[in-house]
């Protein structure tokens, strides 16, 4: 009987659809743990997660199977076995599963039983549910393999324990959400350990995939609920864990316990990782963005510099007749502090040209928001021209507060390829800006020290599209607006319920109306980093045409 076991946890990034590249990466990481008995990898690591409807292409599933067979052959070298997540076709059904590769063959396969169908997940429309899985025999040890959602709910782990499992290994593709790392350990998987009396390895991936960001934060819990290992957040990492068996069962020797980031450092890191992987994986040489002298564009430039390095960030000031000298000065100072390139392209000639072009159609009609939107759209066209000519991806810089109520110009400041602030309310923008001026993120490539002038953070926000304009002319103060929006969006409260919290009914009703009628804009917005439980995208799927109002 085996009384010692070494399991290497490979907390890795991925590239969706890159079967050969993902397989090569797994073999490279396996080679870093030559003395391990088993190397485990995150959910669907072979194909990348989530591959969405790509998995429905028969040729994709066939190539995944062929690549898995090649990986299995590689384990014939006498080195560690591998636990690899992929997709599997059996009797015409498609499954999300894991394969134990050992001795040059596929030694066992287990399918995911619990298929998540909420928030960003819709696995029930893609995969068939596997049966309650049996333990896998490995080196005379019975391993229970709950796959992601299988571990978030109780039945699979309880079944595995009842069938004689000795150690639970849960491989995951668990996206970042605020406070989720603590909830995984302290609530969800601690409960599985308590219910089963078994030790558990939780393995998650890191990296960005479109709007999702994976934070890693993997860990090991012993059967008494104590933590034996914490892997770092946000970084690829290989952790070799050492196990021994006694009369009371298997126990993992205690190893390093990385400290996971608190707020708002974790939010900032999520934005950095999401932007970095989106830009790099899609092959952009860098990013270009409009630098207004305001806080949103300033923090976006700082995030981009930390994600890519300052030399890959190109800021462009696009002043109009309404742009204040202080905004010009603030933008220049901010770009200098960040260390990125800044160009200035006045838009007045284009604004004048549009005034002439539209003078006949607009004759005898008062000036209104239309003229403001023309300025924003001229800026969008200018920035897209730079993006097209030089290849840099255009970043958008609007925050969730603005996007919630439609305080953004479609085909103007909404034009672009990616937005790190998409799920960040305005007060979050202030918080991460103040944090970044005091700290350089551990994973950041930007400069040490402050990167945003203090006056940018402290001055009243303004779009500067008309004389003396302030955001507060059109919207409630952001501290109040964000609380109302959080209640309406994240909590799905009615107007009556929000009013009961002390807000004015007329204002709340107006905000709800703006929230609903701006849906068509959000459908045309670029992707951005998911931070909370109800991002504008797959978390919140509202109809564009919608007559309902709660108050």
Query: Which among 155, 159, 152 has a CA at the least distance from the CA of 116?
Result: 152
For residue 186, the model assigns a pLDDT of 87
Q: Which two tokens stand for residue 148?
A: 């992601």
Give pLDDT tens digits along the chain (551 positions): 579 999 999 999 999 999 999 999 999 999 999 999 999 999 999 999 999 999 999 999 999 999 999 999 999 999 999 999 999 999 999 999 999 999 999 999 999 999 998 878 889 999 999 999 999 999 999 999 999 999 999 999 999 999 999 999 999 999 999 988 888 988 899 999 999 999 999 999 999 999 999 999 999 999 999 999 999 999 999 999 999 999 889 999 999 999 999 999 999 999 999 999 999 999 999 999 999 999 999 999 999 999 999 999 999 999 999 888 999 999 999 999 999 999 999 999 999 999 999 999 999 899 999 989 999 999 999 999 999 999 999 999 999 999 999 999 999 999 999 999 999 999 999 999 999 999 999 999 999 999 999 999 998 776 666 666 666 677 899 999 999 999 999 999 999 999 999 999 999 999 999 999 999 999 999 999 999 988 898 888 888 888 888 88
The strand ranges marked E within 189-348 are 200-203, 206-209, 212-215, 219-221, 227-230, 237-246, 249-252, 287-290, 313-317, 341-344
Question: Has residue 548 been placed in a domain?
Answer: no
Residues 132 and 275 in one domain: no
523 within domain boundaries = no
Claim to verify: residue 222 and residue 340 sit in the same structural domain: no
Alpha-carbon distance of 144 to 137, in angstroms, equals 9
**Same domain assignment for residues 218 and 349:** no
* Shared domain check, 456 and 364: yes
The catalytic residues are 43, 112, 148
Please give the pLDDT value at position 438: 97
Taking the CB of residue 55, how many other CB atoms lie within 10 A of it?
22
Domain containing residue 183: CATH number: 3.60.110.10
Domain boundary among 223, 252, 281: 252
Residue finishing a domain among 252, 280, 315: 252
* Confidence at residue 468, expressed as pLDDT on a 0 to 100 scale: 67
Give the domain extent around 102.
4-252
One domain for residues 387 and 460: yes
Does 211 lie in the same domain as 105?
A: yes
Same-domain pairing of 243 and 271: no
CA distance 167 to 36: 16
End-of-domain residue from the set 416, 450, 470: 470
* DSSP, res 540: B
Q: Does 192 share its domain with 275?
A: no
Both 86 and 117 in one domain: the answer is yes
Same domain, residue pair 55 and 156 = yes
Q: Show Cβ contacts of residue 423 under 8 Å, excluding neighbours closer than 6 positions.
A: 400, 528, 529, 530, 531, 532, 535, 536
Same domain, 104 and 202: yes
Are residues 245 and 275 both part of a single domain? no
CATH number of the domain enclosing 432? 3.40.50.620
Q: Which of 263, 342, 171, 274 is nearest to 526 (CA)?
A: 274
Give dist(CA 317, CA 345) in Å, integer: 6
Residue 313 lies in a domain: yes
DSSP for 435-478?
HHHH---TT--S-SS--S-HHHHHSPP---SSTT--GGGTS--H
Report the domain count for the chain.
2
Is 489 inside any structural domain? no
The whole-number pLDDT of residue 527 equals: 95
Is 226 inside a domain boundary? yes
In this prediction the pTM is 0.93
pLDDT of residue 499: 96
In a domain, 493, yes or no: no
**Per-residue tokens: 91:** 């009797």
Rounded to the nearest 10 degrees, how much is the dihedral formed by the CA atoms of 108, 114, 120, 122? Answer: 90
Give dist(CA 37, CA 4) in Å, integer: 10
């Amino acid at each position: 009987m085996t009384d010692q076991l070494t399991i290497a946890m490979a907390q890795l990034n991925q590239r969706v659809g890159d079967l050969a590249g993902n397989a090569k990466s797994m073999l490279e990481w396996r080679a870093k743990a030559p003395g391990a008995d088993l190397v485990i990898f995150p959910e669907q690591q072979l194909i990348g997660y989530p591959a969405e409807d790509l998995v429905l292409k028969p040729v994709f599933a066939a190539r995944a199977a062929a690549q898995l067979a090649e990986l299995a052959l590689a384990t014939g070298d006498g080195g560690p076995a591998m636990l690899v997540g992929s997709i599997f076709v059996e009797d015409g059904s498609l499954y999300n599963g894991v394969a134990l590769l050992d001795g040059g063959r596929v030694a066992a396969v287990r399918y995911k039983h619990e298929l998540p169908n909420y928030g960003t997940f819709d696995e029930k429309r893609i995969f068939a549910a596997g049966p309650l899985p049996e333990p896998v025999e490995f080196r005379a040890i019975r391993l229970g393999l709950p796959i992601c959602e299988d571990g978030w709910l109780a039945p699979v782990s309880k079944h595995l324990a009842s069938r004689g499992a000795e150690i639970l290994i849960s491989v995951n593709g668990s996206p970042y959400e605020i406070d989720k790392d603590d909830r995984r350990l302290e609530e969800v998987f601690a409960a599985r350990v308590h219910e089963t009396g078994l030790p558990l390895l939780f393995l998650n991936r890191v990296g960005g995939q479109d709007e999702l960001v994976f934070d890693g934060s993997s860990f090991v819990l012993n059967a008494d609920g104590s933590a034996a290992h914490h892997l770092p957040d946000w970084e690829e990492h290989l952790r070799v864990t050492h196990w021994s068996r006694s009369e009371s069962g298997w126990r993992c020797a205690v190893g390093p316990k990385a400290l996971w980031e608190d707020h708002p450092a974790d939010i900032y890191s999520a934005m950095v990782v999401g932007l970095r992987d989106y830009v790099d994986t899609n092959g952009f040489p860098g990013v270009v963005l409009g630098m207004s002298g305001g806080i949103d564009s300033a923090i976006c430039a700082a995030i981009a510099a930390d994600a890519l390095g300052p030399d890959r960030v190109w800021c462009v000031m696009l002043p109009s007749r309404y742009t204040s000298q202080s905004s010009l000065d603030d933008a220049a100072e901010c770009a200098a502090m960040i260390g990125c390139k800044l160009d200035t392209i006045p838009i007045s000639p284009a604004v004048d040209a549009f005034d002439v072009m539209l003078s006949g159609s607009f004759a005898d009609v008062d000036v209104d928001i239309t003229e403001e939107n023309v300025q924003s759209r001229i800026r969008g066209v200018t920035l897209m021209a730079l993006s097209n000519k030089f290849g840099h991806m255009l970043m958008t810089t609007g925050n969730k507060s603005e996007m919630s109520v439609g305080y953004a110009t479609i085909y103007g400041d909404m034009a672009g390829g990616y937005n790190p602030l998409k799920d960040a309310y305005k007060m979050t923008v202030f918080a991460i800006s103040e944090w970044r001026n005091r700290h350089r993120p551990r994973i950041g490539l930007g400069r040490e020290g402050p990167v945003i002038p203090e006056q940018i953070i402290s001055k009243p926000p303004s779009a500067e599209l008309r004389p003396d304009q302030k955001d507060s002319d059109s919207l409630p103060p952001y501290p109040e607006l964000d609380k109302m929006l959080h209640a309406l969006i994240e909590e799905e409260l009615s107007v009556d319920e929000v009013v009961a919290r002390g807000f004015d009914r007329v204002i709340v009703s107006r905000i709800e109306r703006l929230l609903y009628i701006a849906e068509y804009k959000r459908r045309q917005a670029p992707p951005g980093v998911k931070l909370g439980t109800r991002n504008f995208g797959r978390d919140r799927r509202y109809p564009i045409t919608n007559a309902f109002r709660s108050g």
